[in-house]
Amino acid sequence: MEFIYTAEFWVAVSFFLFVAGLIYLGLHKKVATALDARAERIATELAEARRLREEAEQVLAEYRRKEREATGEADAIIKQAGQEAESLAKETRRTIKEQFERRIRLAEDKIGRAETEAIREVRAAAVEAAVNAARTLITEKLTADQAEKLVKDGIDTVKSKLH
């Protein structure tokens, strides 16, 4: 029994007494409860992290969908703007062509009126020149007897045509 006098024996006895005291005070339950609480808190945090991750993935998917929609809308707007620009260009070309044709017609009409007026003026001048030439010739070559005979023949012609 000499081992009772050794230091290792008393260290072992004091260790077992210490462990028995801890068990008597229920420290093992408190440690287990604390570990369970920590495990539960970790599990809750993991669940929250999973939920947040899923929510973030949903938000990301939603933003990607919105981006696709926005891109589609932008493409549609660009396409529509191109069509409207083409339509406007066609309308402008048509309007310019109509205005050009209208101005050409107006110019042609103006030219036609000017030609008609010029022809009328030339005819009037020709008639006046012919009358003046005839007057000159008549005054130079017509005698009084010939003039009387012409007047008498003219009156007879008018009478015959009136009856």
Average pLDDT (76-87) is 94
Question: What does the pLDDT look like over 33-78, one tens digit per residue?
Answer: 999 999 999 999 999 999 999 999 999 999 999 999 999 999 999 9
Which phi and psi (to 5°) does residue 143 adopt? Answer: -95, 170
> 3-class SS at 133?
helix
Q: Is the entire prediction scored with pTM above 0.85? A: no
Question: What does the pLDDT look like over 96-119, one tens digit per residue?
Answer: 999 999 999 999 999 999 999 999
Determine the pLDDT at residue 79: 95
Report the distance separating Cα 116 and Cα 74, nearest Å: 62
> What's the sign of the alpha-carbon dihedral 29, 35, 39, 40?
positive
Give Cα separations from 119 to 2, 114, 131, 149 (angstroms).
162, 8, 18, 36
- What number of other Cβ atoms are within 10 A of residue 22's Cβ? 13
Are the C-beta atoms of residues 34 and 28 closer than 8 Å to each other? no
- Return the domain boundaries, the chain: 39-162
Average pLDDT (6-15) is 92
Determine the pLDDT at residue 67: 95
> 3-class SS at 6?
coil
Tokens of 31: 């440690």
Are the C-beta atoms of residues 146 and 138 closer than 8 Å to each other? no
Query: What value does the mean pLDDT of the chain take?
Result: 90
